[in-house]
Amino acid sequence: MSEIQTTRGDDPDIRVFYFSPTLLTPSGSPFALKLLTYLRMTGLKYKTFHSLKTSSKRKLPFISFKGKEMGDSTFIMQFLNKEFNKDLNSSLSSVEKAASVAFQRLCEENLYWCMVHDRWTLHTERFLEQLVMHKFKKRVIAAYALVHFRRLQKANLYGHGIGRHSNKEIFEIGERDLAALSDFLADKKFFMGSEPTEVDCTVFGTVEQFIECLPGSKYEKLIKEKFSNLIAYTERMKEKFWPDWREQCAQKKIKQKSESQPKPDKENGTSKEEAKGKDQSESADDAQRLSVENNTTDGEHTHASRDDISSENEPILTQ
């Protein structure tokens, strides 16, 4: 079931579907943060929905635009650029645009998989703690994740190639990627200079996941100790484009919900038993959808090519 989260503009044609927030981020998906940041940077009007449903490409996030669905955040952004005549890279030279593409690929096709490895092979339980949902539903999804999704992700990591390395070697790969981002950023305000460009959507969406959604990990410690300019950079991005960041995180939302939503009881027409039964039914539906989408992964399918396992279809559970 989809839930309207935010509307920016009156009756917008762009509807964004993505996995719901974690305690400290508006979404546990680097690709959702990438797309949402792009929409904020361009000033386009849109409406967002939390959803476990994926696009026809079996990708999440995806958009619906005038009745047409489209998956893959990069293709979505290219389409919207053309449809609304937007160009966040107009100030860049051809060489700078080439560098932007290279760093986008670094984040999405390599560094992303280091995050998937940490999330789904090393610290799955710790990541699941970041999710906020009804306790029964969380138990159902956590059980599915630990038994099935973890195994599927290990197969995807192996198919990608990075999963054939040791834990130590994978961490070293991630460290080199983060070092490259930190060194290139240096003391610049944004990734390519004094003004934000399209690659900032990707870099911000990816780095923020390492900072906020891998609590207690070696990556979190590494960034704080060696690449603190990346932390300052994400804070600048949030200040400029996400002034409502805290309000969009689950930690804030769950508090607001508990304060404003009446508890189920006979006075409002719903007994505790009925409410519990509804939660169990919805959780069963979610688990069934996860089972149906068992080839949907942090990538796209269960094979290793870009077409089959792009680092894009945010897992129903996390990304």
DSSP symbols for 93-137: -HHHHHHHHHHHHHIIIIIHHHHHHIIIII-HHHHHTTB-S-HHH
What kind and span of H or E run contains 68? strand 68-71
The predicted pLDDT at position 242 comes to: 97
Comparison of pLDDT for 223 and 28, the residue scoring more: 223
- Radius of gyration of the chain measured on its C-alpha atoms: 19
Q: Predicted confidence band at 289 (pLDDT cuts at 50, 70, 90)?
A: very low
43 Rama class: left (phi>0) / alpha (psi -120 to 50) / beta: left
Domain 3-309, second-level architecture: Up-down Bundle (1.20)
Tokens of 137: 């539903």
The predicted pLDDT at position 311 comes to: 41
Q: How many CB atoms lie within 10 A of CB 278?
A: 13
Burial (CB < 10 A; 0-12, 13-18, 19+), residue 259, is: exposed
Q: Predicted confidence band at 309 (pLDDT cuts at 50, 70, 90)?
A: very low
The predicted pLDDT at position 56 comes to: 75
The predicted pLDDT at position 295 comes to: 39
The predicted pLDDT at position 145 comes to: 64
Tell me which range, 10-19, 42-51, 76-85, is most confidently predicted by mean pLDDT.
Answer: 76-85
Q: Is 163 a residue whose pLDDT tops 70?
A: yes
What's the average model confidence in pLDDT over 215-229?
93
Q: Is 287 a residue whose pLDDT tops 80?
A: no
User: Using an 8 Å Cβ cutoff, are 212 and 24 in contact?
Assistant: yes
User: pTM higher than 0.95, yes or no?
Assistant: no
Tokens of 305: 């090519």
Tokens of 133: 């949902």
User: Using an 8 Å Cβ cutoff, are 249 and 22 in contact?
Assistant: yes
Beta strands 62-65 and 46-50: pairing type?
Answer: unpaired
32's CB contacts (< 8 A; 6+ apart) are 18, 19, 26, 60, 61, 73, 205, 314
The predicted pLDDT at position 137 comes to: 56
How many Å apart are CA 50 and CA 45, to the nearest integer? 17
User: Using an 8 Å Cβ cutoff, are 83 and 97 in contact?
Assistant: no
Summary mean pLDDT of the chain: 79
Alpha helix locations (H) across the chain? Answer: 30-42, 73-84, 94-106, 112-117, 124-128, 135-144, 150-160, 167-185, 198-212, 218-226, 228-241, 245-248, 250-260, 272-292, 306-309
Lowest mean pLDDT among 88-102, 171-185, 242-256, 290-304: 290-304
What's the average model confidence in pLDDT over 204-221?
92
Q: Is 24 a residue whose pLDDT tops 50?
A: yes
Q: Is 273 a residue whose pLDDT tops 80?
A: no
150's CB contacts (< 8 A; 6+ apart) are 120, 121, 124
How many Å apart are CA 223 and CA 178, to the nearest integer? 8
Nearest CA to 151 out of 6, 35, 295 is that of: 295
The predicted pLDDT at position 216 comes to: 83
The predicted pLDDT at position 135 comes to: 57
Q: Predicted confidence band at 144 (pLDDT cuts at 50, 70, 90)?
A: low
How many Å apart are CA 81 and CA 88, to the nearest integer? 9
